[in-house]
Amino acid sequence: MTIRLTLDELWERHLQKAEENLQWDSSDKLDTTYHFDTQIAQGWQREIFLREGIFLKIYSAQQCDQLLIDNPEKDFQVIRCSFALSGNEHKLITFKPNEITIPLTAGKYYIRSNGLLPHVTDYEDTKPRSLIAINVSPQVLSSFVASSERELPQTLQHLVKSSR
């Protein structure tokens, strides 16, 4: 049976379960691990805030069934680079009249940022999946790679441009 949820529905269910299963690292309040709703997946996600504007996500889970998540167009406040360690995920990006499928399989990565088109993420593989994602705010990225004029190189400017 395929489970289909909007991103908001997934987070609502996830956050309800997170409150029940929240585990704090007693030595670091910026390091949080929580478990997923077991009706959707067995597994956990860990978020580590490294400094203002940078956080790391480590994810390890196995879905009960195929999971489709409807993602609306959204202005992301971070640039995310995700690295797949195991398993498969597919993003079906739909924009009239075309569709593109972007696979993320073990050993691959992708970068996403502002202005991502509405899409469906298809977690079709019910085998265990793990990934690491580094999330950086546009301001922090600029501080790392901006020129002396405080401008990002031309090849990176599209990552921080607003979609509006």
Q: What is the pLDDT of residue 147?
A: 58
- pLDDT tens digit string along 87-98? 887 766 665 567
Residue range 92-132, pLDDT digits in tens: 666 556 777 777 788 888 877 755 667 777 777 788 889 99
Name the phi and psi angles at 53, rounded to 5: 90, 0
Kindly state the greatest CA–CA separation across the chain. 55
pTM: 0.74
Cα–Cα distance for residue pair 13/39, rounded to 1 Å: 10
**Do you find a cis peptide bond into 72, omega within 30 degrees of 0?**
no
Tens of each residue's pLDDT in the chain, 164 residues: 888 888 888 877 776 665 555 555 667 778 888 788 888 888 888 888 999 999 999 999 888 888 888 877 766 678 888 898 998 877 666 655 677 777 778 888 887 775 566 777 777 778 888 999 999 988 887 777 655 566 667 777 666 665 44
Q: In what order do the strands lie in the sheet with 88-95?
A: 3-6, 67-71, 119-123, 88-95, 98-105
Q: What's the mean per-residue pLDDT of the chain? A: 77
